[in-house]
Structure 1
Amino acid sequence: MRPLAVLVGLPGAGKSTVGRLMAGRLGVGFRDTDEDVELAAGRSVAQLFAVDGERRFRELEAAAVRTALAEHTGVLALGGGAVVDPDSRALLAGGPVIHVDAEVQDVLSRRGGTAGRPLLAGDATARLRQLAARRAPFYREVARVTVPTRGRDAAQVAQAALRALSLRPVR
């Protein structure tokens, strides 16, 4: 695995925001596999779900994870469900993986926390609780460290993640 840090967690947990902050402090690039999937598909994640379905999205996501783990040397944020794929979990094993651990209510209270997220359509609270229960064991399995977001802003989460992985900021 090549990235300095890989962030996993629920949709809306703040992985991309925290990842960008970490990359900036480390002076390295940031990559988001959801963005990679959108580029590969030529449409947004929401459109991909609507047109091609979740199965096709997961295929593209697994390919994006494989590629990013092999190529990217900076900070990488994975889509919230990437850890469901056993092959992706195997690739993450033993790596510098940080679980950005956001509670369901915190995700729901964030501006834009559930916007544009197909798996949270409808009753976002119930759906997010289901996802959290199903995915929590996978996040624990792959994470070297867990950084709770409760009571912290994104900058504080980024700083805690850098410390937890013993990564020294350049700025």
Structure 2
Amino acid sequence: ILGRCTVVYLECDEETVAARIARNSGRPLLAGDAMARWSALFITRKPVYERLADLVVDVRHGSVSELGHRLEVALRDYAAAKQEVEN
């Protein structure tokens, strides 16, 4: 799968994640002490995310629309660069 897909790591800091988790309590995996659970998951997953990512997009600041646009541009640029290398 990894060879046929583009893996994007959405990079975010703990402060931003805490604010977002506080606004959305509907995540069963984060029930209870959400930040403690998120931190424990993130500590184990971060090295994997970084190793597998083809692309890293900073999603700390901006509206959902702005972040979506940032991701779209990053994916388009990545695809163009990959196409250039393949040709």
- How many aligned residue pairs are there? 75
Matches within 5 A, 1:105-120: 105-110=15-20, 111-112=23-24, 115-120=25-30
Work out the CA distance in 2 between the residues paired with 1:92 and 1:142: 8
Match of 1:102 among 4, 7, 12: 12
Greater share of helix: 2
Tell me: CA distance 1:94–1:139, structure 2 relative to 1, closer, same or farther (3 Å).
farther
1:126 alignment partner in structure 2: 36
Work out the CA distance in 1 between the residues paired with 2:50 and 2:2: 12
Unpaired runs of at least 5, structure 1: 1-90
1:153 alignment partner in structure 2: 63
Q: Percent identity?
A: 33
1:95–1:144 CA contact under 8 A, matched in 2: no
Q: Which has the higher contact order (CA 8 A, sep 6+)?
A: 2
Work out the CA distance in 2 between the residues paired with 1:94 and 1:139: 17
Runs of 4+ residues deviating >3 angstroms: none
What is the TM-score with the length of structure 2 in the denominator?
0.68
Match of 2:8, SS state, is strand
Match of 1:137, SS state, is helix
Match of 2:47, SS state, is helix
- Tell me how large the CA RMSD over aligned residues is: 2.0
Unpaired runs of at least 5, structure 2: 78-87
Tell me: CA distance 1:166–1:131, structure 2 relative to 1, closer, same or farther (3 Å).
same
